[in-house]
Chains A and B, each alone.
Chain A
Amino acid sequence: MSWLSRVVRPKIQAVLRKRDTGDSLWHKCDACNQMIFHRELSDNLNVCPGCGHHMRIAPKERFDSLFDEAQYETLPTPQVAADPLKFRDQKKYPERLREARHKTGREEAMSVARGKIDALPVTIAIQDFAFMGGSMGMAVGESLVMAAERAVKDQTPLIVFTAAGGARMQEGMLSLMQMARGTIAVQMLRESALPYIVVLTDPTTGGVTASYGMLGDIHIAEPNALIGFAGQRVIEQTIREQLPEGFQRAELLQSQGMVDMVVHRREIRPTLSRILQMLMYDRLQKNPATALPRPAALTQADDMPA
């Protein structure tokens, strides 16, 4: 590359990029290449209306689609030690965190909220692949523990939407320990006999699958979601064979007995509602008063004079 193209090319690229995002009223489906009008895509929860391909969806849009009247209280992201290893690869870890925060507008890779599904109070945690690949650092583990503690306190089910490449290497062993800490969070619900439902979204691999991702009372997966322990490249390098069609995809995992059902994104809310009403039936019968506390934020909003 000549010095001229080196100088000129980035500028052209910048212009092109700007135009790309400037009028991104149209979105191309990753699977069928169909152009979809952005409003139509978001109305359809980022599922291609043409081929049904499930594209990624941000936590806020997901929460909006799950809770009654899109009303919920978001819990603050718990504070954790910042960069305890002083980790540096090609970039410093705090720099990568800053970039992820800037890109997503979110503080960390797990968001937790409480609200209701068909009047039943629930706690929901959503892992965010856009934030450093959803990687399971201390903040993710701590959010999960917080969500579980809150669910136990409020006596609500906990629903976790998983999405992650796996561990957050920049936190070293502190990241690996989140597999144990996430598992303790699950045990808190078990011991309180509260439902713990996992919704596996694309992609969920590594330490997340090998801990709280595979410990649900019920496992729901989104269509075609990649779900597994080892990464596909690692497997290919180890066995030196091509992987079979549909390997580690939701539908295959269902046939192998690892997930209960593969559910279209639009159907997840009614599915959760149906399941939770039944799992919570006995508890609600015995003690309807304490089993249905109203989340504080909603109570305030509801009670506000119009």
Chain B
Amino acid sequence: MSYVEIRELTKKFDTTTVFENINLDVDEGKICVLVGPSGCGKTTLLRAVAGLTHPDSGVIRLDQRDVTKVEAKNRGVGMVFQHYALFPNMTVEQNLAFGLEQKKLPRPEIRKKVDGVIELMGLGPRAKARPAALSGGQKQRVALARALVLEPKLLLLDEPLSALDAQIRKRLRDELKRLQHDVGFTAIFVTHDQEEALMLGDQVAIMQAGRFVQIGAPAEIYNRPANLAVANFVGDFNIFDPATVERLFGVAAQTSSWAVRPEAIDISPADRKASANGGAVETEVTVMAVQILGAMVRHYTRAQDVMIKVDLLNKPDQRLFQIGEKARISIARNAIAEMNE
């Protein structure tokens, strides 16, 4: 039995069905990342788990307890909102103490817990500040602290980092990972950023139009996307339909498309002899454009009329290809993900 169990959950608004009979399991102390395009029902699912909206049917169990009909405040669920939802009239400390006060804890205990979480989140210097005086990253840290201080059984985060700029986002993401390691909370984290999903998630659930198309470990999602949509989400795969496969690589009688990651393709000068790797497929290409992406150098190449993206690691001694140069690419068989749709 999992720590969080969502069973056959259905939610409709009037005539539109947001999701129908969906299932999800999250283990204790793990982060499950929910990803999917905007409008696919991530927020609604999170709100159903939080008790902010009522599902039409299905069951939500948390730590062996059926909480489907339990009021939000009695579920032991904490939530971090995209726009922080801090109380603007209260200082950081007062925001953090608010939930504990509602639990009618004794003053000294509240003090102790608030001080503890302020320390944990490094908010000490801003403890007396009001939200308006905080940066976006600090606000989100306070929001996280406000949820964590109640020691929730489950933490829900709805795109908590998407309102922040890239650098802060990265730092907070790393911090969240460290925090999860130290505190050991269980969380469902919604994002539409694939890097965030793969880095934070112990488990990644890909949602599309109200259903999960793939649930798995990040490596599994990354290497073996279940369908083209997942492939497109987790990175810009090169997709070859069966006809193209036959035309470029001479492999016939295919029924499924091939998806190949840009960094899984080897590129070598055209005059180099074909690789001895028996399983690999090869074709001739022309380099059309070269783009430095940071750690990677992307080559846009063309084979007949098909664009193929090839990434090389940006090492000092890496031989980069010139625009217009002829080259040969080769793809190992185990780098090919076959998929339908």
Q: Do A and B come from one complex?
A: no
